[in-house]
């Protein structure tokens, strides 16, 4: 029994869904519009303001797809109604962040600044306040794209385990290691 796949998805106000015969699910809301092609074996239904996903058999592949597509559709509904947000922090001496429109400029200890173009679907905001580490705030209605962009930014300088320097998610806890001991 798939607990995630069997959970119904309730539709908030102002959100509409369209399910075509080829299992193309389109969700429209105040924040935008998202589409997702669902596996042809699965059946997506919508009645009385509740979306449900059902599978034909108990095969391992069908069970896996059942939970996956239910989660993807639930993320689409949440995204077009409320949206998603990721916050990143730059920890390190001299680390700076700046943006010009959708172009992100990072200074993270290399001999050159890193320039990264953010897609228009993702809103970018940077904060440089005295007494707190520089922050990058990303918001979007597409959770997959948002996670991919945040992961790419983090990959420019991953946090290291000894001093914790690098780009990290705001709520991320870095496992620290002990350094060398004097003998």
pLDDT tens-digit profile of 82-115?
999 999 999 999 999 999 999 999 999 999 999 9
Write down which residue in 33, 49, 81 finishes a domain: 81
Q: Is the pLDDT of residue 126 over 80?
A: yes
Please provide the average confidence, as pLDDT, over all residues in the chain: 92
Half-sphere CA count of 114, side-chain side, radius 13 A: 17
Q: Are residues 163 and 102 in the same domain?
A: yes
Q: Is the pLDDT of residue 1 over 60?
A: no
Q: Are residues 125 and 139 in the same domain?
A: yes
Q: Is the pLDDT of residue 183 over 70?
A: no
Q: Are residues 61 and 34 in the same domain?
A: yes
Query: And the tokens for 57?
Result: 């058999």
Give the pLDDT score at 133.
94
Q: Are residues 93 and 20 in the same domain?
A: no
Please state, in angstroms and rounded to a whole number, the distance separating the CA atoms of residues 40 and 104: 40
Q: Are residues 57 and 43 in the same domain?
A: yes
79 CB neighbour count, 10 Å cutoff: 23
Report if residue 55 sits inside a domain.
Answer: yes
Q: Is the pLDDT of residue 65 over 80?
A: yes
Please state, in angstroms and rounded to a whole number, the distance separating the CA atoms of residues 79 and 2: 23
């Amino acid at each position: 029994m798939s607990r995630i796949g069997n959970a119904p998805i309730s539709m908030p106000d102002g959100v509409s869904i369209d399910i075509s015969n080829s299992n193309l699910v389109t969700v429209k809301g105040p924040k935008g519009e998202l589409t997702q092609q669902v596996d042809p074996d699965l059946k997506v239904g919508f009645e009385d303001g509740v979306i449900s996903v059902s599978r034909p058999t108990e095969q391992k592949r069908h069970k896996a797809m059942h939970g996956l597509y239910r989660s993807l559709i639930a993320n689409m509904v949440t995204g077009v109604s409320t949206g998603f947000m990721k916050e990143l922090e730059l920890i390190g001496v001299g680390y700076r962040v700046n943006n010009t429109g959708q172009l992100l400029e990072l200074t993270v200890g290399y001999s050159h600044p890193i320039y990264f173009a953010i897609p228009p679907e993702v809103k970018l905001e940077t904060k440089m306040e005295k007494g707190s580490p520089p922050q990058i705030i990303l918001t979007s209605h597409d959770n997959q794209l948002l996670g991919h962009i945040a992961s790419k930014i983090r990959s420019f300088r991953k946090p290291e385990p000894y001093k914790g320097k690098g780009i990290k998610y705001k709520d991320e806890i870095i496992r620290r290691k002990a350094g060398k001991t004097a003998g």
